[in-house]
Chains A and B, each alone.
Chain A
């Protein structure tokens, strides 16, 4: 299905693949979390989840969401902050998740729109809502699952 909101040649599947690759690269480079096949990722049906979102505006606007299981978030924060011997605090975990959302968003937009458009990325925030959006990527790690999604709200008027 074509992504109706965007006058892009890519469809939602292709856009979701870009979202997947950008998210995987960010996790690997920034958090040292590496992807594993789905059947090797721990299954955690009742794990508590933490979510963050970040809004963006520019040639098109929307929101990027990320949801992670708590065990994954602990690993992310520990690796980002270099805390081998002490567990990260709740604030450090929240800040880490918000920064990951920010970095994924900042890399996703030029990957979709090219390097010329200027986007404004808002301040990331912790949200109670789980990741939801037409564009979606699930990333399996040895600590659990990361879900990243994006919703495009509107396209700027033609200039």
Chain B
């Protein structure tokens, strides 16, 4: 089944890198939505169903933490799998994100790391994408 995804990052380069990484990892990507900040990301979620969201933390307009709070407060989206991909190095902040039910991958990431975490989050078997 193809995955509909949302990538939220203020860097267009990172959005492209994540999308490229997911495709290279063999994941079947359906609709790939992109947003440059949390507010844009929420607007996308209002209009489209996605299976997983990749969210940065430090963004203008609305940061990733606030976006995640809004998602968790919305009953229609509360269970959305969220993978935070960020340079954030503070364990305090990372623990806060984990408490919100998000997973965390640190930049710089490897394609293998992203693939393994996504597979685990979505319950995709090790051989499913091959």
Contact = CB atoms under 8 A, between A and B. Distances in A.
Interface stretch (B38-46, B74-82, B89-97): B89-97
Interface string A85-116: 00000001001101100110111011100011
B92 A118 contact: yes
A61 B88 CA distance: 16
Given A29-B108, A103-B107, A123-B60, A96 B90 contact: no
Contacts of A96: 13
Contacts of A106: 86-89, 107
A110 B13 CA distance: 24
Contacts, number: 67
Report which residue of B86, B89, B92, B110 has the largest number of chain A beta carbons within 10 angstroms of its beta carbon.
B89
Contacts of B91: 115-116
A99 B11 CA distance: 7
Given A107-B87, A118-B90, A29 B109 contact: yes
* Chain A: number of interface residues, binned into ranges: 20 to 34
A92 B13 contact: yes
Tell me whether chain A's interface is mostly helix, strand or loop, or mixed: helix
A115 B108 CA distance: 16
Interface residues of B, number: 23
A118 B93 contact: yes
B38 to A, nearest CB: 15
Contacts of B107: 30, 103, 106-107
A151 to B, nearest CB: 19
Interface stretch (B14-22, B26-34, B47-55, B117-125): B14-22
A142 B110 CA distance: 22
Interface in B2-25: 10-14, 16-17, 20
B90 A95 contact: no
B66 to A, nearest CB: 14
Interface string A39-82: 00000000000000000000000000000000000000100111
Interface of A: 25-26, 29-30, 77, 80-82, 92, 95-96, 98-99, 102-103, 105-107, 109-111, 115-121, 123
